[in-house]
Amino acid sequence: MEFTEYVREQRPSLLRFATVLTGQAWLADDVVSDVLGRAFERWDHIDSLARPHAYVRRMIVNDYLSWRRRLLRTTPTSDIERSSTATADSSEQYAERDAMIGRLRRLPRRQRAAVVLRYYAGLPDAEIAAELGCRTSTVRSQISRALTTLRITEEAPSMTSIPEER
């Protein structure tokens, strides 16, 4: 398969995957663009693999988890705080998706990657472990911790809405 054909067919799914992984569309576009640029340079090798799409997806996960990107995202650029409130959407589907991405954004990176690979990409533990470079037991514990955190986060708003007695 030619690289341009691969990009034409797979870029939308790679962008969706990266958006769920990063929690921000602009960052997902940046990650996918960087990865596809590197993939272009090595396309002869990548195309000869049994599963080139899995390889490119692994490149996205690795790029997301890399220390360089983490440093770039955590370096403050101004004194202005960004609003953490999401813009209200009239569509329930989009509002639910935004809320889930917001909850996923609070997870540590490796937990978020494990959850996205399991529930968004539908990969089994062994493939997730291969993509993250760890053991399957680590994948299971990361997902378990992430789901516990997501449950606590989901329950927390209802607890804060109870008025205090005076």
**Mean pLDDT split into 10-residue runs, the chain, 166 residues:** 92 92 88 93 93 93 76 62 58 79 89 91 92 93 92 60 43
Computed on alpha carbons and rounded to an integer, the radius of gyration of the chain in Å comes to 18
Q: What is the pLDDT of residue 54?
A: 92
Q: What is the pLDDT of residue 40?
A: 95
Distance CA 52, CA 129 (A): 18
Q: What is the pLDDT of residue 78?
A: 60
- Residues with Cβ within 8 Å of 64's Cβ and at least 6 positions away in sequence, in order, are 18, 21, 22, 31, 109, 113
Instruction: From 96, 106, 100, select the one nearest 145 (Cα to Cα).
Output: 106
Fold held by 91-166: Arc Repressor Mutant, subunit A (1.10.10)
Q: What is the pLDDT of residue 113?
A: 92
Q: What is the pLDDT of residue 165?
A: 44
Q: What is the pLDDT of residue 99?
A: 83
Q: What is the pLDDT of residue 142?
A: 94
**Domain spans in the chain, listed from the N-terminal domain onward:** 1-73, 91-166
Positive or negative: CA dihedral 143, 148, 151, 153: negative
Q: What is the pLDDT of residue 103?
A: 87
